[in-house]
């Protein structure tokens, strides 16, 4: 009887939502680490007109499954952490931390455009965290 109850509960649970997180470095320098790649045209159209950098390098990409009523935590490079929490069935709140403090937070509609957060990496570079529902192609 307990097995039937567990299976029945799992069947009615809300499904998770897949999100993709890209860690991007904006810089005038060449590729800073092995395995980095230049961002593709879709993301470049969003960043290049606004920011002055010659290059936008994708340093890392992660696929997450965010569950309703749970906070998903992600470790990122450079002492950064990110938390994603459903606020409604079609919206998530994204909080970005560096070292011990909150840098920024935003709300992102799951059906809407990608969400881009960022800040200064040092006096010469900037970083961007892109949260999106569509899976980026190798050059997006």
Per-residue pLDDT tens digits for 15-42: 788 899 999 999 999 988 888 999 988 8
H or E, element range at 78: none
* Pairwise pLDDT comparison (103 vs 120), residue with the higher score: 103
Amino acid 113: pLDDT: 77
Question: Do residues 19 and 37 make contact, with C-beta atoms less than 8 angstroms apart?
Answer: no
Asked whether residue 96 is assigned to any structural domain, the reply reads: yes
DSSP string covering 10-66: HHHSPPPEEEEEEEEEEESSSP-STT-EE--HHHHHHHTTTS--SEEEEEEEEEEEE
Percent above pLDDT 90 for the chain: 31
Asked whether residue 70 is assigned to any structural domain, the reply reads: yes
How many domains in the chain? Answer: 1
Mean pLDDT confidence for 124-138: 85
Per-residue pLDDT tens digits for 60-98: 899 999 988 889 999 987 788 999 998 877 888 999 998
Asked whether residue 139 is assigned to any structural domain, the reply reads: no
pLDDT at 10 over 70: no
Mean pLDDT confidence for 38-48: 90
Q: Structural domain of residue 26, as residue ranges?
A: 14-132
Q: Residue 95, SS3?
A: strand
Asked whether residue 39 is assigned to any structural domain, the reply reads: yes
Asked whether residue 71 is assigned to any structural domain, the reply reads: yes
**Pick from 73, 76, 69: nearest CA to 84:** 73
């Amino acid at each position: 009887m307990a097995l039937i109850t567990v299976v029945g509960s799992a069947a009615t649970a809300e499904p998770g939502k897949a999100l993709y997180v890209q860690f991007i470095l904006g810089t005038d320098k060449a590729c800073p680490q092995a395995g980095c790649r230049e961002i593709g045209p879709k993301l470049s159209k969003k960043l290049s007109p606004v920011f002055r950098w010659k290059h936008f390098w994708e340093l890392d990409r992660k696929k997450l499954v965010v569950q309703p009523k749970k906070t998903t935590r992600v470790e990122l490079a450079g002492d950064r952490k990110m938390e994603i929490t459903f606020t409604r069935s079609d919206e998530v709140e994204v909080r970005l931390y560096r070292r011990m403090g909150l840098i920024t937070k935003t709300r992102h509609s799951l059906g809407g455009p990608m969400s881009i957060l960022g800040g200064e990496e040092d006096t010469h570079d900037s970083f961007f965290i892109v949260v999106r529902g569509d899976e980026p192609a190798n050059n997006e």
